[in-house]
Amino acid sequence: MTQGPPDSRTPFDSLDFIYMPSSDVTADLAFHKDVLGGEVVFAIEAFGARVAQVRLSGHEPRLLYADHLQGDAAVLVFRVADLEVALAELEQRGLTIEARFGIPHGPCAAVRTPGGQRLALYELTRPGADQRLEGRLDFGS
């Protein structure tokens, strides 16, 4: 089987983040740091929620743990060039948007596959977000 480029109709640029629900973000950070040898990039506590990013390798996607994320399934977060255009195209093909919200990097929309997997699409409108967040340790230091 040969590997070629994805269907030209795909709006996805890259898989940038994997958001994982966590009932104990501090314990998950300690596990990634002490057991897996990862690096805590940031650990933010704001608006009653804890979100932390860990780096296990020098490659994408980035792993994020969040205690406000409902359910047990991870959310795969894909970057698109233009969120509104991508959503309009995908809605014409049967996609249903579950929610719209913002992440530090820009506007985002959550969707679910027929099998229940969770995906999100975002547009990078704030490219400096990583630099603003890196090194911030509100907890778990």
| Integer Cα distance of 52 and 130 in angstroms | 12
- Average confidence score pLDDT of the chain: 91
| Integer Cα distance of 128 and 39 in angstroms | 20
Given a cut of 70, whether residue 53 has pLDDT beyond it is: yes
For the residues of 46-87, what is the DSSP string, one character each? ETTEEEEEEESSSSSPEEEEESS--SSS-EEEEEES-HHHHH
In tens, the pLDDT along 59-106 reads 889 999 999 888 889 999 999 999 999 999 999 999 999 999 988 899
Given a cut of 90, whether residue 23 has pLDDT beyond it is: yes
In the chain, what are the domains? Answer: 12-133 (3.10.180.10)
The predicted pLDDT at position 3 comes to 58
The predicted pLDDT at position 71 comes to 87
The β-bridge partners of 97 are 111
Token duo for residue 112: 């679910």
**Is the separation of the CB atoms in 51 and 65 below 8 Å?**
yes
| Integer Cα distance of 40 and 50 in angstroms | 13
The predicted pLDDT at position 58 comes to 86
Q: Which residue has the higher pLDDT, 10 or 85?
A: 85
The stretch 7-12 carries a mean pLDDT of 79
